[in-house]
Amino acid sequence: MLSITLTGLKLKNPLMLAAGIMGTTGGSLKRVAESGAGAVVTKSIGLEPKSGHSNPSMVEVDCGYLNAMGLPNPSYKNFQEEIDTAKEGDVPVIASIFGGCSLDFSEIASALRADAFELNVSCPHAHGYGSEIGTDQALVEDITRAVKDAVKVPVWVKLTPNVTDIKSIGLAAEHGGADAVVAINTIRGMAIDIESGYPILGNKFGGLSGRAIKPVAIKCVYDLYETLDIPVIGVGGISDWRDAVEFIMAGAQAVEIGSAVGNNINIFNDISSGMEAFLEEKEWTLDDIYGVAHEV
């Protein structure tokens, strides 16, 4: 009862692994697929191998996490075998990719076989990448179009909330031909060790994820749903089935789950069964609740 078709991909449920979470190795993606996810998104993959920022690269804060991984990845040149292993999990594998310009993006996308691409134009702590380009409408449109031209599979664009107006960036993606947008990536944040005065993260600042950011993500999804014709995929702070339902009501056709996987790798199964029980009790379908917050 939870199956959906998302930008042409058939998913047994609308719950996907978010980019950057256990997503660097085929084995870990496969494990998550086998733990009940409807689809899995890989770590964002770039042109060259990258070791990321120095540690500490992640720290728990009140109700969430700050991370500044710095996009560590083995480069697309070493990544097809990981995707192929991930495919053994028998769910769609979406390749998240990043670059500094549209040429980077299309080079990477043309070289990888995946069920869809998610363009990371939203990582808040990688200099020259991520949200440094995802705040610029023209660049986002340009990059989206370049990847659309390069591949035949669906292209999703992942947006940053660190902008004055996320709707305009969503529209740029839509104009560029995106099949869906994904919202949100992490929110710029920082924590300082009061014993020493040091910023805790090796990169000094990073991105906030986890339960703290859910209300912000819900608002972004709600606004994008009102503005765009293409589907919105929600992500940010989902930790139980209620959160997933809330996102779908806000207008997300599907959701991605990140931080909460750390403490519960079985979260996809848990959320599926929770959602099913809820829908059954209410005698609702997934379609009944999709975007319902806009209709009441």
Partner 1 sequence: MKPVNAVITKIVDETPTIRTFYFDTSFEPVPGQFVMVWIRGVDEIPMALSYDNAITVQKVGHATSALFELEEGDSVGIRGPFGNGFDVKKGHIVLVTGGLGAAPLAPLAEKAGASGIKVTTLLGAKTKDELLFRERFEAVGEVRVATDDGSIGKHGYVTQLLEDAKNYSQLYCCGPEIMMKKVLDKVVPSKAQFSLHRYIKCGIGICGACCVDGLRVCKDGPVFSGDILKRTEFGVYRRNECGERIKV
Contact status: 133 vs ligand FMN (CB under 6 A): no
Residues forming contacts to a second copy in the complex (CB under 8 A) are 61-64, 66, 135, 162-164, 187-192, 194, 196-199, 204-205, 208, 211-216, 218-219, 222, 237, 242, 245-246, 249-250, 278, 289, 292-293, 295-296
Q: H-type helices in 35-122, by residue range?
A: 80-87, 102-111
In angstroms, what is the minimal distance from the CB of 258 to partner 1? 8
To the query of whether residue 101 is one of the catalytic residues in this protein, the response is: no
Residues 59-98, interacting with ligand FMN (CB under 6 A): 65, 67, 69, 71, 96
Tell me the backbone φ, ψ of residue 207, rounded to 5 degrees.
-120, 135
* Strands lying side by side in the sheet with 205-209: 58-61, 64-67, 205-209, 187-190
Question: Would strands 116-120 and 187-190 be described as parallel, antiparallel, or unpaired?
Answer: unpaired
Residues 45-74, interacting with partner 1 (CB under 8 A): 49-52, 54-61, 65, 67, 69, 72-74
Distance CA 185, CA 84 (A): 26
Number of H helices, E strands in the chain: 10, 14
Is 167:140 a contact under the CB 8 Å cutoff?
no
Contacts of 257 (CB under 8 A, 6+ apart): 15, 16, 17, 18, 21, 37, 235, 238, 244, 267, 268, 271
**What is the contact surface with partner 1 in residues (CB under 8 A)?**
20-25, 27-28, 30-32, 43, 49-52, 54-61, 65, 67, 69, 72-75, 78, 191, 193, 195-196, 198, 200, 202, 258-259, 261-263, 265, 296
Active site residues: 123
**What is the contact surface with ligand FMN in residues (CB under 6 A)?**
18-20, 43-44, 58, 65, 67, 69, 71, 96, 120, 123, 158, 185-186, 209-210, 213, 235-238, 257-260
